[in-house]
Each structure stands twice: as C-alpha cells, then as structure tokens.
Amino acid sequence: MSDLFVELTAPNGRKYSQPRGLFINNEFVKSKSGETISTINPSDETEICSVYAAGPEDVDIAVAAARKAFKDPSWRDMDSTARGELLLKFAELIEKHRETLATIETWDNGKAYTISLAEDLGEVIGTLKYYAGYADKIHGQVITTSPKKLAYTLREPLGVCGQIIPWNFPLAMAAWKLGPALCTGNTVVLKAAEQTPLSILYLATLVKEAGFPPGVINFINGEGRKAGAALAQHHGVDKIAFTGSTATGKEIMKLASVNMKNITLETGGKSPLLVFDDADLEQAVKWAHVGIMYNQGQVCTATSRILVQEGVYDKFISEFKEHVAQTSVVGDPFKDDTFQGPQVTKAQFDNVLSYIEAGKSAGAKLIAGGEAFKNVGGKGFFIAPTIFADVTDEMKIYKEEVFGPFVVISSFKTEEEAVERANDTTYGLGAAVFTQNITKGHRLAREIEAGMVWINSSNDADIRIPFGGVKQSGIGRELGEAGLEAYTNKKAVHVNLGTKL
Ligand code: NAI
Ligand code: MG
C-alpha cells in the first residue's frame, strides 16, 4: 500500500485506514506538487496525520473529471429512480460506517462523540435519504397559453458544482450540498475545510462502493486561498455553493463573477434571541443554552445575542447561569458525559479569547467563564462557557460573530425596542422569540429580518425546512424542497402548433 492510506488508531481505540489523497475519478491520488497539510487533534494539540493538498493544477484535473462525468451517458441519462437508489445506497453505506465516521469527526473537529454519532451522522444519513426520495419527483410544467403553442419547462441540472464547506459540521455540510446536487443530476467537486479534512476523505471510500460513476463526486483538500479560490474562479465550474464566513463569502462572489457562476452562500450571523416578560422562562433558558453552547458555539445560526425584557432580566440571568453550569460539561469529547469539547483550532481558540478580553475591557459584566478551560490534561483548545451581561449595542462583543461558547445578554423595555435592536445588525440568519402570546410571536416572526425565526425554540433546524439567510448572512437556500432550486435551471421550450408567418 502506498502512502495514500495510513493505518490509525483513534483515541477511543477504533482502528481504521485513513485515506490521505485527493479523491478524483473514484481514485485517491497525490497532489501534483506533493504538498500536504497536517491536521491537529484539538483536544491535545497533537498531529493526527497529513493529507495531500490540492493546488490549481489538481483543481483543473478534478473539474475536468466532473465535466466529463456530467456529459457521460452513464450519469446524464441515468433513470431518475436509479439515481435515487444510488443515493440511498450511499446513505446505507454511511450507516454501516457510522461509528468510524463519527470517531473521525470527533477526533479531527473536537465535537462530543455522542453528538457526532447521534446527531451529525443522523443528519448526514437523513439528508441523503431525503434527497434520494426527490430524485424521481423533479419535473417541469406545461404552461397553457393558446392552442397554437405548447410551452413547457424542463428542470435541468446546472453542471459542475464547486462546493466549499467549513469545519464546524464537515460531514453534515457535505451532505447538505451533495444531496440536492446529486439527486438533480449535477456533478461535484467538493473542497473540505483544511482544518478538518479527514472525515470527508473517509466518506470518499464509500462513493465508489455505492456505485457512482467516476468523476460524479470528487473530493479535494487544500487551503481556501489556493484550492478554494481556484475552484471559485474556475471557468469549467457552473456553480459555487459555500458555507463559511461572510468575508470569505464576499471574496467568493467576486471570484465567481469571472464566468457568472450560479452561487449559493451561507455565511455568518449574530442571531438574536428575545425573551419577553410573558415567556415560559424555564423553556427560554434551556433553548437559549442549546442555541449558543451547542457544538462549542461554532454554529452559524447560534443565537449569540440574548435580549431579555426588563421584568425577567435578573431572573433569566441567574437561571441561565445555573443551567449552563450544570449542562455545559466541558471535557474530553470521547467521554460520554461531555457536552462541550475544544474549539476546532488554535486560531479559533485565540479568537474567542480575544473577544473575552474585548468584553472585559469594554466593561461588560462577566457572569460566567471568561477564560480558557484548563482541566482537560492542561492541553487542548478548551474555553469555559462564557456569559456577559449588561452588554450595550456599541460593544464589539454585541456586534460581531464570535463563534464560540460565548453569549452576550442585554435588556430591553418594549416590543418595539426589541425588534429595532434585533434588526440592528448587518446579519440576518436566525432569530428566536420567547413569548406565550401567539399573536405577538407571529407578529415578531414577520418583523424580524432573518432567514429563519424560531418561536419558543432555537436552532431546531430540520432538513425538510429551508435554511439560509438574508442581508449579509447569505444568498439562496439549502435543505427542503427549496434546496433543489439551488441546483436546477428551468429551461423553457416553446412548440409552435400552427402560427404561420
Ligand atoms: P472561512 O470562511 O475562511 O472558511 C470556510 C471555507 O472556505 C474553508 O473550506 C476554506 O478553505 C474556504 N476558503 C477560505 N478562503 C477562501 C477563498 N478565498 N476562496 C475560496 N474558498 C476559501 O472561515 P474560517 O477562516 O475557517 O473561520 C473564520 C470565521 O468564519 C469563524 O470564526 C466564523 O465566524 C466564520 N465561520 C462560519 C461558518 C458558518 O457555518 N457559517 C463556518 C466556519 C466559519
Ligand atoms: Mg483538526
């Protein structure tokens, strides 16, 4: 066996063979330059292994493979039900390898294993099955105009789709993008995040076994500014779908303009969670906790800005503090009772600590945390769950996305003020509202500028429901039926049934 695979034993004792190559045309290959990137276990800062990193030349090869596959009759003319069955087979194989995939995800990313196994992998399998079911239910329309014209639409795939995913939910973000792209007949070059390449490469081992023709699904690793940028500006790519930071999303928009690619962007947020005096406070506290502390706070839709009406402000803070202290168990992500593992990288860890300093120096009131968490063997990128209260609108910690177990709390007087402050942000991803008054709940859902509003919950997104943002939180929608729109064109066909010139 070449150095394209390495035999590894994960911290939980699981042994497996880790691919290290680029996955192009159903084969693992080295990068042309031989360049590699190494990936780190964020729990103890040791290197797990290195993987080959794509440069522009490798991107060219992957895109050419995807282009060839797109035109190949084995894929282009495949019966739509058979295409759905391929996706189902892929989902079944993932189920079979569920423990290994969850292990790799936890090892490379730091998220709790119990959560990787149940929730991330559950979402991956669920998403692929959901879109498998759509493969033979995608169709155009006949549009009636006059007896002299037959007009109809065809739903066509876009072509070669470049997909650039982040490190916070590597496998789930891959599934969100692969499912709709494949069930509609596109081909894909997906670039994993350089911080978490390993689970995506293992997923690649299941692509060929599922029976996808060569070139339909290609996975590459590599740095954003090299491999990602090469993909975003490639003339052979028809669409770019991206999840990540708003700054990178803007960069990708510019790069994608070279050939006017279709784009879907899912970027950052500073999502508000509003708690009104008439809320069920116990529920508000529990959902607020999940809304910000889940996945180490590394969630684009995290409700990171809590606004509480003054009548329940002090009570909310004391109950929230108590609930976080009891529930946010920080520790080794392979331990069963761990809720919060380390931040994904040193860079993210340092970034969160810098926001903690900014909060302290701005004079916000520190309620909990406010430092690194050192009790996991003294190593790793762990942060104590951090709560700041009495935060004001001009503070940096109130405005900017922190992407950590870090939440700001502020009080408001009236509904009008709550809406105004909820909307006073460049972002518009999620929002949550807690009230027992259903009229008020629905009214707020309309008034808040966001792609998603939760009434009396937070972040219980669902693969069957559209996901995405407004303002600088993104363009387009993923998941649900809406996710199919992002991967098909409607072609209009006009048939002359007798008009003579
Ligand atoms: P990033 O947005 O730079 O990286 C996300 C993906 O984009 C990675 O695959 C990366 O390789 C790629 N990329 C980076 N620069 C690129 C370029 N010029 N052209 C094409 N692809 C490129 O995010 P990063 O630096 O890892 O994290 C920074 C911040 O972004 C986080 O602190 C967080 O605030 C936010 N973020 C948001 C995510 C979300 O789910 N919306 C996910 C990850 C990060
Ligand atoms: Mg890593």
What is the number of the ligand closest to the CA of 350?
1
How far lies 446's CA from each of 52, 302, 420, 431, 483, in Å? Answer: 48, 20, 13, 11, 22
What is the number of the ligand closest to the CA of 44?
2
CB of 252 closer than 8 Å to CB of 239 = no
Q: To which H or E segment does residue 220 belong?
A: strand 217-220
Q: Which two tokens stand for residue 280?
A: 């069920």
At residue 229, what is the residue type?
A
Q: How far separated are the first and last CA of the chain, in Å rounded?
A: 70
Which protein residue's CA is at the shortest distance from atom 7 of ligand 1?
Answer: 224
What is the C-alpha to C-alpha distance for residues 165 and 150, in angstroms, rounded to an integer?
Answer: 42
CATH of domain 5-267+477-489: 3.40.605.10
Which protein residue's CA is at the shortest distance from atom 15 of ligand 1?
Answer: 224
Residues of the chain where predicted confidence (pLDDT) is lower than 70: 1
| pLDDT at residue number 412 | 98
Strands 452-455, 386-389: pairing is unpaired
How far lies 232's CA from each of 34, 186, 478, 492, in Å? Answer: 22, 17, 19, 28
How far lies 312's CA from each of 272, 290, 308, 317, in Å? Answer: 17, 20, 7, 9
CB of 31 closer than 8 Å to CB of 40 = no
Q: To which H or E segment does residue 49 belong?
A: strand 47-52
Domain borders along the chain are 5-267+477-489, 272-460
| pLDDT at residue number 1 | 47
What is the C-alpha to C-alpha distance for residues 28 and 219, in angstroms, rounded to an integer?
Answer: 9
Q: Which residues contact 24 (CB under 8 A, 6 or more apart)?
A: 58, 61, 62, 65, 215, 218, 220
Per the residue annotation, which of 194, 266, 401, 478 is the catalytic one? Answer: 266
> Which ligand 1 atom sits closest to the C-alpha of 268?
41
CA angle 83, 85, 87 (to 5 degrees): 75
CA angle 190, 193, 199 (to 5 degrees): 80
- Phi first, then psi, for residue 433 (nearest 5°) are -130, 130
The CA 360 to ligand 1 mean position distance, Å, reads 27
> Which ligand 1 atom sits closest to the C-alpha of 193?
9
The CA 196 to ligand 2 mean position distance, Å, reads 5
Which protein residue's CA is at the shortest distance from atom 12 of ligand 1?
Answer: 224
Q: What is the 3-state secondary structure (H, E, C) of 137-177?
A: CCCCCEEECCCCEEEEEEEEECCEEEEECCCCCHHHHHHHH
| pLDDT at residue number 467 | 98
| pLDDT at residue number 464 | 98
Establish how many alpha carbons lie within 13 A of residue 318's alpha carbon, considering only the half-sphere containing its beta carbon. Answer: 3
Q: Positive or negative, the Cα torsion across 240, 120, 380, 290?
A: positive
Establish how many alpha carbons lie within 13 A of residue 19's alpha carbon, considering only the half-sphere containing its beta carbon. Answer: 23
Confirm whether 266 is a catalytic residue.
Answer: yes
What is the number of the ligand closest to the CA of 347?
1
Q: Given this structure, which CATH class describes domain 272-460?
A: alpha beta
Distance of CA 421 to the CA centre of its chain: 26
The CA 224 to ligand 1 mean position distance, Å, reads 8
> Which ligand 1 atom sits closest to the C-alpha of 194?
11
The CA 389 to ligand 1 mean position distance, Å, reads 29
How far lies 384's CA from each of 19, 94, 263, 330, 351, in Å? Answer: 34, 34, 37, 7, 14
> Which ligand 1 atom sits closest to the C-alpha of 266?
41
Probe target for ligand 1 pocket from 248, 257, 294, 296, with the most ligand atoms within 8 Å of CB: 248
